Amino acid sequence: MNKPNRLTRFFFYGDSNTYGFDPRGFLGGRYPADVRWADILQKTFRGTCDFTFEGMNGRSIPVSRTEYRWLEQMIRRASPLDYAAVMLGTNDLLMTARPDAAAAAGRMHTLVEWLLDLPALREAGARVILMIPPYAAVHVRKEDPYYRYYAESVRLAELYRKIPAGHGGRVLCIDTTAWDIELAYDDVHFTEKGSLSFAKEMEGEIRKLLKPYTEKQTREDQTR
């Protein structure tokens, strides 16, 4: 009897849009599981993939030793992994009066380098996925002072696109800015429709990643 294939294992590290934050309530809350894109992926790929989602409201790119230590512990618990994905940077811009895309991109570059060198990922041959978050403040008019948050989120995406270069294919990029995800009134968080659309787009991206594994398994089955 053939042994079942090991599930392809993903780890996602993100902020409130990974957590599934629902901004409609006074104190906020969380969308139900059938709306959250993370839970939809769990259901869609059940039996094929194993997902660990670590989303937290307000999370920014790690800078302190404590934050990196916590992240390492999360990754160890989820290991062995095939992919470690990060979708952060929005809060790095929004939680300051002077958003600086270059500074945020520098912190992300440091994080990606750290992930590549992390023994739990390096020894498993895992790849890092840098997810470019949707633009923030997309409906703000150019003359509005808050327009700088949109401008810097566009600049952040441009800088993020350059990070995977030079890593021999170990760093992949998923650019969600092209997906036209519907945002809530705050111009930051996904609506229910936006979350469902995000799930559909992510399903397509994951199927692309799984294709080599599927083709390999098909060849092995044909030789048995």
Tens of pLDDT, residues 5-40: 579 999 999 999 999 999 987 677 999 999 999 999
Number of domains the chain is built from: 1
pLDDT for 84 equals 98
Per-residue pLDDT tens for 57-82? 999 999 999 999 999 999 999 999 99
pLDDT for 6 equals 79
Rounded Cα distance, 51 and 38, in Å: 8
Residue 103 is part of a domain; what is its CATH number?
3.40.50.1110
Domain presence at residue 156: yes
Domain presence at residue 68: yes
Full-model pTM: 0.91
Averaged confidence pLDDT in the chain:
92
pLDDT for 223 equals 55
Mean pLDDT, range 169-194, rounded to an integer: 96
CB 92 within 8 A of CB 107: yes
What is the domain extent for residue 116? 8-223
Give the residue among 2, 21, 13, 39 at the shortest CA–CA distance from 192: 21
